[in-house]
Structure 1
Amino acid sequence: MSLFKTSPISFEMLDRSETPSRRYEAGETIVSTGDEAKEMFLVRSGRVEIRVGDKAIEEIGAHGIFGEMALIDHSKRSADAVATEPTEIIPVDERLFVVLVQDTPYFALDVMRVLAERLRAMNEKLAE
């Protein structure tokens, strides 16, 4: 079971047929704790589990994002991301992220909403 609710925000605007993507098989690690972070990711298809240590804290499906925190603050990855089924992701580097924020203000607001949702869920979990 996931710590976080599945976000109702969809980032499918990033999913275009010409956009480069990466494919992972079930069980493959996409990013690991401590990795340098140069991009965030959109899940085009499949599912990605976010893990801290041996605990699954969230599962992200199609048109959800992950990895945005490290891209924003230039820190190393704070969690592992593992494909739980065959998965295709779209990387979003900082250059594209900045263009999206400048050209589409609601994109930035949606990313902030995802971050806020995850922070609130963590606060609720800590209060239990």
Structure 2
Amino acid sequence: MSVFDGIPFFAGLDPTRAETFARQCMRKRYSEEELVLDFDDHSTDVYFIVSGDVRVLIRTAAGKEMIFGDFGPGKFFGEMAAIDGAKRSANVTALTNAELLLVPPAVFREIVLHEPEICDRLLRILTSRVRELNMRLFERSVLDLRHRLYAELLRMSAPRKGHDGQSIVSPPPFQHDLAARIGCRREQVSRELTAMIDEGLAEKIRGGLVLLRPSVLEKRVQDAMNDAD
């Protein structure tokens, strides 16, 4: 069994090369709420999530922190430091007990540069992340708090099984987390969620926050963006 087994990013890696690289990598366990890495760390390993979940916080130029996202099994982070050697630009903390595979930068670059399939996979993932960051920046620039909240909830949601046309954010998001994601105060998020519930756009259930009419939220966000033009 290889340390790379079960990690989608390494699918297609030559078994012989994998065996060589595996000797330079290590799996490490983290406890819930344990710090994985912090802003300005000099470490350059790439972290691949084998099990559990982590939260990635990024810091703005003004020093404010924003939740970039929660990553689960199969995802990875830390690739930028492995590529350019710069200090860490994010804080990562384990949300649950987690097991991570730490890949040294030299190994990461060797794999990417000599495995075309994996290189293409990395380029697509990085492009997707840039697009998402660009969209968030655009939203922060042109949308008011209400529509930023709509957009973030839509991003966080998944189709609700057995309920056509509905989506669900599960587990239910904490209000202070939503505030950190869209750049506002918890009290403002609370007011907007109450308004959504009163309007029949959302419903709180034990398993999560249900978006009863996500198509309406999508249209409102798009209309707000068009008006900003």
Pair in the same fold by TM > 0.5 = yes
My pick for the range that moved more, 48-57 or 33-42, is: 48-57
Distance 2:109 2:83 in 1: 10
Please tell me whether the aligned partners of residues 24 and 86 of structure 1 are also in contact (alpha carbons under 8 angstroms).
Answer: yes
The one-letter amino acid paired with 1:44 is V
TM-score, normalisation: structure 1: 0.82
Aligned to 2:57: 51
RMSD between aligned residues: 2.4
Cα offset, 1:10, TM superposition: 3.0
2:125 pairs with 1:119: no
Cα offset, 1:92, TM superposition: 0.9
Cα offset, 1:79, TM superposition: 0.5
Identity of aligned residues (%): 29
Cα offset, 1:52, TM superposition: 1.9
Alignment of 1:57-96 (within 5 A): 57-96=68-107
Distance 2:100 2:113 in 1: 23
TM-score, normalisation: structure 2: 0.48
Deviations 1:42-83 (A, max 9, x none): 001001110124421111111111000111111100000111
Structure number, greater radius of gyration: 2
Alignment of 1:93-112 (within 5 A): 93-112=104-123
- 1 or 2, which has the higher helix percentage? 2
Aligned to 1:3: none
Q: Aligned to 1:23, which of 29, 39, 42?
A: 29
Distance 2:126 2:113 in 1: 19
Question: Which consecutive residues of structure 1, in runs of 5 or more, have no partner in the other structure?
Answer: 1-8
Cα offset, 1:112, TM superposition: 1.9
Which segments of structure 1 move beyond 4 Å, counting only runs of 4 or more? 14-19
Cα offset, 1:12, TM superposition: 5.2
Question: Which consecutive residues of structure 2, in runs of 5 or more, have no partner in the other structure?
Answer: 1-6, 60-64, 140-229
Q: How many matched pairs? A: 120
Please tell me whether the aligned partners of residues 23 and 86 of structure 1 are also in contact (alpha carbons under 8 angstroms).
Answer: yes
The one-letter amino acid paired with 2:122 is V
Distance 2:107 2:94 in 1: 24
- 1 or 2, which has the higher strand percentage? 1
Work out which structure has the larger RCO, using CA pairs closer than 8 Å and 6 or more positions apart in sequence: 1
2:5 pairs with 1:11: no
